[in-house]
Structures are given as C-alpha cells and as structure tokens.
Amino acid sequence: MDFLARKTAISGSPTIQLLDRVRELKRAGQEVISLSAGEPDFVTPQHIRAYAKNALDEGYTFYSESAGLFELRDAIAEKLRRDNGIQADPNNGIVVTVGGKEAIYAAMMATIDPGDEVIVPDPSWVSYVPCILLAGGKPIHLPTDASEAFAISAGRLEDAITRRTKMLVINTPNNPTGAVIDREALETIADLAKHKEFLVLSDELYEKIIFDSKEHVSIGSLPEMEDLTITVNGFSKAYAMTGWRLGYLVAPPRIAERVVAIHGHIATSACTFAQRAAALAMRDDLTEKNVEEMVSEYSKRRDLVVTELEKIPGIQCTRPEGTFYAFPDVSQYGLPSADFARRMLDEAKVAVVSGDSFGSRGEGYIRLSFATSRDNLATAFNRMSQAIRSVNR
C-alpha cells in the first residue's frame, strides 16, 4: 500500500536545500559566498527587536487568537487601506500566519479541491506548485519570457483558462525575475477573473522592495476584485524579519474563515510576542525609515549586479524592477542551469540557484540574490568571471 500517495510528488525546496549545503561547506572551512538566499542580510531593526523584548517582559507568552492578535490585525487593516487601497475588516478577513509561506499553503488548502486547475506563471517561486499539489490541484504553467520582461501575456492567460480554472497565482514584484506587474496588466487580469470567475492569489511579499519609481498596485484594490482576491504579505523581506515567521493574508470573509480553521489545526497561532512587536512596528515611523534605507541599499546593489553581469561575455539579464534578485540568462554557455550553478559552487565557491528550480521556463537561467554586501558581490563576480572562462561555450 502506498501510504504517501500524491505526497511523493513533493520534493524539498531547492533554495532551502542549497542554503543548507552552503552552511555545510562553511562549517567545513570553505569560503563560500552565497548569492542564493532569499533573505535580507540586514539584522531586524533595533526598535523592532526592543518591542519583542518588551513584549516578553509584558507577558506575551501565551497563544493569541488563532487569526492573530487583534492589535496586529487592526494595524494590518490600517496599512492595507493606506498603502494598498484595500478595505479589510480586522474582525473577519485578515489572518496572521507563520510566515507568508503558510498563508499561501492555507489559502490553497481552503479553496482548491481535487482536480481544480491553478494557473502559475513560469518561472515563479519554488513553493507555489508544491502547495497546489498538496491541495490536490493541478498546476497549469503560464509561460513568460525575458523578451517581454517576463510580463503575463493576456492572450496566453486567456488560452490557459478552462472550466476547471479555480485560481491564478501572481507575484509582484516577482521572485525570481524581479518583474513588476503594472496597473494596465493587472486591470486586464482582473477583467478576466471577473468574466471567467476565478480567484487571484496575489503574493505581494516584496511590495516595498521596488526600484526606479515603479508603482506597486494591489489587484485586490481594483473595482469588484475584493471578493475574488486573496492578498498575501508579511514581514520577512521588507522588515528583515525572516526568522520571526510572521505573514498574513486578507481574503473575503468566507475564505478567511476557512483559512482560520486550517491555520488553527496547523499552528494554533503565530508567535505572540513577535505579533506584538510587529503591531507596534507597523505604527512606528522609524520602521518605514528603516525600510527606505534598506531599499536604497538594495537599489545600489542592483545597479552593481547589472553592471557586473554586463561585463561577462555571453550573459544577458533583464534589469530587475523589484525584489533583491537578478535572473540572468546563461544559456549561451551550453550547460544546463543545474550544471552551470554546480560549477559556480565547485569552482568559484559562489552559490547561485539553478533557474529550472523555478519552472521549465527557468532553464538556461540562474537566480542571483543581491541581499549581501557590495564587497561580497564584487568578490563573487570576480570569482565567477574566472570560473566562467573554463566553461565550454
């Protein structure tokens, strides 16, 4: 008897596996520079850490409501109105989760039935497809292309929609490509969602890490989309709080209620003193100042990465509009992405993520994280340039 059934189709996260491998090599004394982690290199701002310490002293050591501390849900609702144009009821519509990843998983478990189709842009973040499969859904890959700046084509999207389509997943700014979906494209997606009656799960975890005066637009703010949108966000990326494991989603009440039920069985509630700290941080002007400073530094690093990539013959890279990732095309070197990434680790001692980890359209690419210092980036590119000379083109 196969007790695992469809769960055997789920393998571990390739990005986490690579990060674990880098840690092993470092423990063994090897000087590896990691450009693989989807994690800010900044320590959580001091005032947020102080809020957490105070929360512990104040006794925030018990379970919170399963949906999250009300003061945090209220702060999230205020933020959504102010920054995103989304009207959300903190009493019934917002759920605080153990990271954005749990928000996505719980949202899919709450809405997807066996056989439902979920459209996912390709390339996209490594965990969407496993979450769909765990919910019993069928992932439908929607190709995007560097020649179109990895934009979602309205024509290809419409062709992918069937009577079994339950959901479209979007991620803006996008991991791994750094692409931002503009307002016009979102309006087209919204029109299709309303006409064809499917949900949109909008992953906006990188919304504040955006460059060149690009505009972040939440599809849930567009007319008549409040009942068709699940917006996922969190504190990991913009606030440099990855280890705190705090995320949230806003959804129509009928969906939020089901998410709370699932979340209650999975986790009971998110970490209470971390929630207290996040609630205070969201209403502290110093937090936004810290975010702006971090984003300014990411922008400088982005420019450095693009400049260094342009110096390497045979590599092309679409300029990232957001996130802290670049997604260069290395296909001219004639190696599969996984082999190219392996050689960078073995020969240059630089860890990058193979592009095929993000879908079949990622083959021929690698993902570079510039969530590390400019000195590290300069050293990494120097090493990579030397290693690339030995790659047969």
Establish how many alpha carbons lie within 13 A of residue 256's alpha carbon, considering only the half-sphere containing its beta carbon. 26
Residues 145-180 have pLDDT tens digits of 999 999 999 999 999 999 999 999 999 999 999 999
Give the per-residue pLDDT at 27: 82
What would be the CATH architecture of the domain defined by 46-283?
Answer: 3-Layer(aba) Sandwich (3.40)
Give the DSSP per-residue string, 148-169. GTTPPPHHHHHHH--TTEEEEE
1-12 pLDDT tens trace = 454 555 556 666
With 0-12 / 13-18 / 19 or more C-beta atoms within 10 angstroms meaning exposed / middle / buried, residue 5 is exposed
CATH topology agreement for domains 5-44+287-387 and 46-283: no
Domain ranges, ordered by start, for the chain: 5-44+287-387, 46-283
Q: How many CB atoms lie within 10 A of CB 345?
A: 20
**Arithmetic mean of pLDDT, 195-224:** 97
Question: Tens digits of per-residue pLDDT, 90-140?
Answer: 999 999 999 999 999 999 999 999 999 999 999 999 999 999 999 999 999
pLDDT digits (tens, 9 = 90+) for 281-303: 999 999 999 999 999 999 999 99
Confidence of residue 67 (pLDDT cuts 50, 70, 90): very high
At residue 302, the pLDDT reads: 98
What integer pLDDT is reported at residue 238 of this predicted model?
96
Residue type for position 267: A
State percent of the chain over pLDDT 70. Answer: 95
The CATH code of the domain at 5-44+287-387 is 3.90.1150.10
Is the pLDDT assigned to residue 393 strictly greater than 70?
Answer: no
**CA-closest candidate to residue 362, choices 343, 325, 339, 337:** 337
